[in-house]
């Protein structure tokens, strides 16, 4: 499987996206899949995600000009629904193979 590209977006590109990046890295390390993760601000989402396979966001109003799947990453912050989010991430990334 080729390395997947994930973009993590929050309002400022600092606080909540950092937590989501850590959780995402831990998840993929645990299952042995290599990913390239970058993080940014909501205003950068469209540009940053042009070559991404997936966008994880804590900002619900993200709209993209291209067809990249967007998943709500709030479960990585709250812990509620985290397993469901992980399943969705795998469906998007591994289901593309």
Give dist(CA 43, CA 62) in Å, integer: 9
- What domains, with CATH codes, occur in the chain? 4-94 (3.40.50.2300)
Q: What is the mean pLDDT of residues 28-55?
A: 94
Answer yes or no: 10 catalytic. Answer: yes
CA 9 to chain centre: 8
Q: Which helix (H) or strand (E) holds 10?
A: strand 4-10
- Which of 56, 37, 36, 42 shows the shortest CA–CA distance to 13? 42
Q: Which of 7, 9, 10, 45 is catalytic?
A: 10
What are the pLDDT digits (tens) for 45-83? 999 999 999 999 999 888 898 899 999 999 999 999 999
* Of 53, 57, 28, 27, residue with least CA distance to 40: 57
Has residue 96 got a pLDDT over 70? no
């Amino acid at each position: 499987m080729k390395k997947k590209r994930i973009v993590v977006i929050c309002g400022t590109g600092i606080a909540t996206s950092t937590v989501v990046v850590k959780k995402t890295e831990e998840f993929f390390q645990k299952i042995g899949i290599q990913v390239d993760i970058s993080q940014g601000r909501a205003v950068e989402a469209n540009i940053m995600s042009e070559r991404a396979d997936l966008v994880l966001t804590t900002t619900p109003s993200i709209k993209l000009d291209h067809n990249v799947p967007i998943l709500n990453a709030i479960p990585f912050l709250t812990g509620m629904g985290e397993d469901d989010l992980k399943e969705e991430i795998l469906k998007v990334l591994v289901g593309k193979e």
